[in-house]
Amino acid sequence: MPESNTAKLLTLPNAGQGALSIRAKALIFHDAQSLRLLRQVELIAPTEANVLIIGETGTGKELVARHIHAQSGRSGPFVAVNCGAFSDNLVEAELFGHEAGAFTGAQQARAGWFEAANGGTLFLDEVGDLPLAMQVKLLRVLQERQVVRLGSRKPIPVDVRLVAATNVNLEKAVQAGHFRLDLYYRLNVAPVELPPLRERPGDILPLVEYFIDFYRQRLDIPTPRLSQEAAAELVAYHWPGNIRELENVVHFALIVCQNGVVNPGDLRLPGFALSPPGATPDPGGSHADGFATVRAGLRRLLDEDTPEVYERIEQLLFTTAFEYCRENQVRTAKQLGISRNILRTQLKRFGLIGDSPADALATVEA
Does the pLDDT at position 274 exceed 50? no
Q: Which residue has the higher pLDDT, 46 or 365?
A: 46
Q: How confident is the model at residue 277 (pLDDT cuts 50, 70, 90)?
A: very low
The CA distance from 99 to 89, in Å, is 15
% pLDDT > 70, the chain:
84
Give the residue among 54, 23, 80 at the shortest CA–CA distance from 244: 23
pLDDT for residue 117: 94
Q: Confidence class of residue 293 from pLDDT cuts 50, 70 and 90? A: low
DSSP string, 45-106: TTS---EEEE--TTS-HHHHHHHHHHHHT--S-EEEEEGGGS-TTTHHHHHH-B-TTSSTT-
| pLDDT recorded at residue 210 | 95
Confidence band, pLDDT 50/70/90 cuts, at residue 364: low
* Residue 160 confidence (pLDDT) above 50: yes
The model's pTM is 0.71
Helix (H) or strand (E) holding 261: strand 261-262
What is the pLDDT, as a whole number, of residue 281?
Answer: 41
| 278 pLDDT tier (thresholds 50, 70, 90) | very low
Q: What is the mean pLDDT of residues 263-286?
A: 57
pLDDT-above-90 percentage for the chain: 50
pLDDT digits (tens, 9 = 90+) for 115-135: 999 999 999 999 998 989 899
Position 159 scores a pLDDT of: 95
Q: What is the pLDDT of residues 26-64, one digit of tens each?
A: 899 999 999 999 999 999 999 999 999 999 988 999 999
Higher pLDDT, 120 or 355: 120
**DSSP assignment of 211-247, as one string?**
HHHHHHHHHT-PPPEEPHHHHHHHHHS--TTHHHHHH
CATH topology identical between 31-195 and 201-349: no
Confidence of residue 2 (pLDDT cuts 50, 70, 90): very low
Domain covering 31-195 assigned CATH 3.40.50.300 in the classification = yes
- The CA distance from 77 to 290, in Å, is 45
How far apart CA 311 and CA 112 sit, in angstroms, is 39
Q: How confident is the model at residue 195 (pLDDT cuts 50, 70, 90)?
A: very high
User: Is residue 275 very low, low, confident or very high in pLDDT (cuts 50, 70, 90)?
Assistant: very low
Comparison of pLDDT for 315 and 297, the residue scoring more: 315
What pLDDT is recorded for position 294?
Answer: 75
CA 147 to chain centroid, in Å, comes to 27
Pick the CATH number of 201-349 from 1.10.8.60, 2.120.10.90, 1.20.120.140, 3.30.110.30: 1.10.8.60
**Model pLDDT, residue 341:** 82
Question: Residue 210: phi, psi to the nearest 5?
Answer: -65, -50
Q: What is the mean pLDDT of the chain?
A: 84
Q: Is the pLDDT of residue 191 over 80?
A: yes
Domain ranges, ordered by start, for the chain: 31-195, 201-349
pLDDT digits over 208-235, tens only? 999 999 999 999 999 999 999 999 999 9
How many other C-beta atoms are found inside a 10 Å radius of the C-beta of residue 153?
A: 7
pLDDT tens digits for 87-98?
777 888 888 887
Q: How far apart are CA 360 and CA 366, in angstroms?
A: 17
* pLDDT, greater one: 341 or 75: 75
